[in-house]
Amino acid sequence: MWLPLHTVSRRSSVAALLQISRHRGKDNVSLFSHSAGLRAQTCPALLYRKHGDPSKVVQLEDVDLPPIGAKDVLVKMLAAPINPSDINMIQGTYAILPDLPAVGGNEGVAQVVEVGSQVKSLKTGDWVIPKDAGLGTWRTEAVLAEDDVISLPNDIPLLSAATLGVNPCTAFRMLSDFEDLKPGDSVIQNAANSGVGQAVIQIAAARGLNTINVVRDRPEFTQLSDRLKAIGATHVIKEEALRRPEIKELFKTCPKPKLALNGVGGKSATELLRHLQFGGSMVTYGGMAKQPVTVPVSALIFKDVKVRGFWVTQWKKDQSNNGTAFRVMLDELCHLIRQGKLTAPVCTEVGLQDFSKALDTAMQPFTSAKQILIM
């Protein structure tokens, strides 16, 4: 079932604040002048005025920075990834869409430069990430409400901070909220090379869980398998292996999974279901194949499997009146990062001015590196 499209109402004022002028090049972009106590009146941003092909509708332009209110913070964006959901938003196919014109990007890390007179939870120099989607992170600076961001420790790697708010949070919640997993239990997932997949591998390994990681066949499968095993994967197999008798050999040394994580859909999801143990759960968080999930009747009747969905944006909304759960999760993820047990996915750092190349690369199949815009 398709999610309904609707507008992000609490972002409706953002478009009104974007008085746009064409980007005039670096020589004409005014930057912060802290010694003079002044700040830029505009900042470069990747903006789109209509939905469509990102390579055609996204432009680097100057946008006005609104005045800093009493409960606002002025931040300098440090780094922001290009995620599939960002692409879908620009295309107009995502479940939530900001008012247009809009600045792209839903994730990233920024540093607080100035705080409003009534800001209590943040101070100059703090690192922050968005609490929710729709802030528009593909820009060099922004004025944001204190309540729209949450602080991170600045002693973790920049790329880990920039990519923490979506994929690791998705992985954390799916491993925590659907099955009571104990050390030695197994989890099976497709899209194991994705940002979520890599986070699942690492968080599961830290908890003593086995992971069966399914990836599409490709020329560099051996190198990919070695890389995933290096970050904690127990088994790495090709999609075709799920349909072959040899899979039975794997389950002689590894218990059948209690939990299946589906980011693909279609036949791949059906194959995951076939290998769940009795009463297990399959959680769908993505649909890269753009094919529906088909659930065999026998799996429901004879194995009593549970078929669920997860969207981290909705989880964050549900927790918006209780910041404790989000804070606790971020603290635990940062602890894993400090221990070296959770690293950022393979990333390619790209300057904001090279956004076109980064967008094109992010949309290619078999992309092995996440594109990160460095401001």
Task: Tell me which residues are annotated as active site.
Answer: 94
What's the CA gap between 132 and 312, in Å, rounded?
9
Q: Are strands 42-48 and 58-64 parallel, antiparallel or unpaired?
A: antiparallel
Q: 52 Cβ partners below 8 Å, 6+ apart?
A: 90, 91, 92
Sheet strands (E) in 82-184: 96-97, 102-103, 109-115, 127-130, 141-145, 149-152
Sheet holding 102-103, edge to edge: 21-22, 58-64, 42-48, 102-103
C-alpha closest to that of 313 among 178, 172, 169: 169
In angstroms, the Cα distances linking 248 to 169, 176, 235 are 32, 27, 13
Please name which of 43, 16, 37, 162 lies closest in space to residue 101, comparing C-alpha atoms: 16
Q: How far apart are CA 96 and CA 273, in angstroms?
A: 29
Do 222 and 361 meet the contact criterion of CB atoms below 8 Å apart? no
Contact present, 165 and 201 (Cβ < 8 Å) = no
For residues 225 and 210, what is the distance between their CA atoms, to the nearest angstrom?
15
The verdict on whether omega for the bond into residue 101 sits within 30 degrees of 0, i.e. cis, is: yes
Give buried/exposed letters for 65-80 (b at 16+ CB in 10 A, else e): bbebeeebbbbbbbbb
Locus of tokens 């529906």: 292
Q: In which element (H, E) is residue 173 found?
A: helix 167-177
Strands 235-238 and 210-215: parallel
**Six-digit token string for 59:** 């432009």
